Structure 1
Amino acid sequence: MKRNRVIGVDLGGTTTKFGLYNDQAKLLHQWAIPTDTTSNGSHILKNMCDSIKQTLKENELTVDSLLGVGIGAPGVVDNENGTVCNAFNLGWSDKQDVKTTFNEQGLTIPLYLTNDANCAAYGEGNISNDESVVFITLGTGVGGGVIIDNKILQGNVNSAGEIGHMRSYLNYGFTCTCGNDNCLESVASATGIVNVAKKESEDFNESSQLNKMIKENKDITAKTVFDLAKQDDKLANKVVDLITYDIGVSCGNIANLLNPKSIIIGGGVSHAGTMLLDKIVSVFNTVAFPLVKTSTKIKLATLGNDAGITGAAYMVIKGETKHDETI
């Protein structure tokens, strides 16, 4: 049987998303299952394998029709050995042997495994036909992935692309989830933006709906801040300017170091759209080296929630981060 089908998997803390593709990266079928994090996530891998086998059966396919399975997973991924650890949102504090579990479940096909942010970067880069891409995701946290010459940059201990843990220039002293202070994630994530708004509100005395909401202890989100900024709220505008300055400087430094073809901004915060992008680009243009400024483009992500499964499928098709011929 011809191996002309690929499965891409985006393993998330709440939902595990799957995509069945042909060998030209055309999406044929898409589905999802809840991620069962009970019992320290001990059911996750078997549930994933069962779902893949069930979908193959429903589509009248066999394991022999698959080129492989690509997986983007949170935590620290060991591409050589096919393991994941420190994926705390999955309950995986200990090392999980993905490779062995797939083999035991009868999925004896090539396995392609990388960090979820790298996977999303690979998807966005391939859709854009950009061989060198830095992907920054602004969501609950701030993640990143680096693609150089269409290869995922893994780093010495598989930790390349930790853009969220670059130093913030705002210097609020917020403690990041990693334990360090003043990480970019502590101010530019969805939670960080709210914390910046509350911090700036302390000494803000001008008329502002955002300031009023904070003083009255009403719930606000990053979306609240950007929506009010679009209405020319003074505190909201100040917060957006501060955040985009920080992100823009970080993008400039990244571009000066790597000179990728594009830096792509994704994640929930990116839904702020052109307001976010235009301000980041304005700062980027003051930081980037002149030749870098004209050769690296800052743009918004296009794949949304499908970036992970798309990148995972492309890993299989292009043979990126494969362990061996069987798992």
Structure 2
Amino acid sequence: MEKAILGLDIGGTGIKGGVLINGHLEDIRSIATPAKESKEFILETIANFIEGYISYDLIGIGVGIPGLVDVREGIVLGLSNIPAFQHVELKKFLTDRFSKPVFINNDANCFASGVHKFGVGRKFNHLVGLTLGTGVGGGIVINGHLYSGVNSAAGEWCSSPYLDYDFEHYCSGKFFEKYYHSKPKALAKLALAGDATAIRAFDEFGHHLGELVKHILYALAPEAVILGGSIRKTYPLFKNALFQSISTFKYPTVIERFEILLSEMDETAIHGAVALVELEKENEVVNN
């Protein structure tokens, strides 16, 4: 049997998994997250889900979590959308249960790692991954290595002050719902049909996102920003406004070497969780 790596994406509404075999992601499954249940019940749900993959010859388990993580110890420090999952020693629990190496990180960090390892970010040494959905998540790759910072909090631009709130307020689905009382997908259909209000919504969104990208450029000057998340699918509707905003960046020689790309992977979160194990294997080779 071929060696396999299990990747898990644990979110507030669903738990999704898949195995990487010979560079290909296979056997993707999902279940609902029992987000309102006790910590113990949620842990057993995760373990039972993993049991379904034990027939594979697993060499490691990677887990992406939408919250802060003590990466070294594998402790989930808190998830706002899963109230009982606070200070959970998830790595110890899974290692004790399955006797496999386990690596855990923030899901946006996993996204950045995944697109760098498996996706359109492979050609870059320095990149930032931005997930645009219900919220905004950010992950950083520097010199080809994921940079998580303390408690995996690097790249949390969602909480950086912007205008009267923060960047997440203006660069996620929250913007469309608050100011246009609609979901991005529904507004995109209207915009494509020529609706002036919907077109304006995406122009404004693109401007705000451009301001976030400039914020990133001033701090890190990456070679690329890779966009993920559901809102990336509406990219043609906000692309012009996005680049118009970025064009005001003060260092044109940096912009000349800068790209914005869309993640082409449908299961980026799982790929990213798998990448946590892949990167650890590579580090072992380098250090031995």
CA distance in 2 between counterparts of 1:48 and 1:243 reads: 36
Q: Report the 3-state secondary structure (helix = DSSP H, G, I; strand = E; otherwise coil) of the residue aligned with 1:137.
A: strand
Of 134, 151, 160, which aligns to 2:154? 160
Q: Report whether the alignment pairs 1:94 with 2:86.
A: yes
Displacement of 1:91 in angstroms is 2.5
Distance 1:134 1:227, change over 3 A: same
Of 129, 138, 142, which aligns to 1:144? 138
CA distance in 2 between counterparts of 1:103 and 1:247 reads: 40
Displacement of 1:3 in angstroms is 8.2
CA distance in 2 between counterparts of 1:144 and 1:87 reads: 16
Q: Report whether the alignment pairs 1:115 with 2:106.
A: yes
1:126-275 mapped onto 2 (5 Å cutoff): 126=117, 127-128=119-120, 129=122, 130-168=124-162, 171=163, 173=164, 182-197=165-180, 220-275=182-237
Q: Report the 3-state secondary structure (helix = DSSP H, G, I; strand = E; otherwise coil) of the residue aligned with 1:71.
A: strand
Q: Pick which of 220-229 and 186-195 moved more.
A: 220-229
Deviation per CA, 1:241-282, whole angstroms, max 9, x where unpaired? 222111112112312321222101222222213222333123
Amino acid of the structure 2 residue aligned with 1:18: G
C-alpha RMSD of the superposition = 2.4
Aligned to 1:310: 271
Aligned to 2:45: 47
CA distance in 2 between counterparts of 1:184 and 1:269 reads: 15
Q: Report the 3-state secondary structure (helix = DSSP H, G, I; strand = E; otherwise coil) of the residue aligned with 1:95.
A: coil
Q: Report whether the alignment pairs 1:16 with 2:15.
A: yes
Amino acid of the structure 1 residue aligned with 2:7: G
Bigger proportion of residues as strand = 2
User: Any conservation in 2 of the 1:164–1:184 contact (CA below 8 Å)?
Assistant: yes
Displacement of 1:162 in angstroms is 0.7
Deviation per CA, 1:276-319, whole angstroms, max 9, x where unpaired? 23331232122252121111201222123x11110111111121
Q: TM-score, normalised by structure 2?
A: 0.88
Aligned to 1:68: 60
Percent sequence identity over matched residues?
A: 26
Amino acid of the structure 2 residue aligned with 1:149: N
CA distance in 2 between counterparts of 1:148 and 1:48 reads: 32
CA distance in 2 between counterparts of 1:261 and 1:28 reads: 31
CA distance in 1 between counterparts of 2:277 and 2:63 reads: 9
CA distance in 2 between counterparts of 1:257 and 1:94 reads: 31
Aligned to 1:211: none
- Higher-Rg structure is 1
User: Any conservation in 2 of the 1:118–1:146 contact (CA below 8 Å)?
Assistant: yes
Distance 1:110 1:104, change over 3 A: closer
Displacement of 1:321 in angstroms is 11
CA distance in 2 between counterparts of 1:84 and 1:252 reads: 31
Aligned to 1:204: none
User: Any conservation in 2 of the 1:123–1:310 contact (CA below 8 Å)?
Assistant: yes
Q: Report whether the alignment pairs 1:285 with 2:259.
A: no
Q: Report the 3-state secondary structure (helix = DSSP H, G, I; strand = E; otherwise coil) of the residue aligned with 2:166.
A: coil
Displacement of 1:229 in angstroms is 3.0
Displacement of 1:133 in angstroms is 1.7
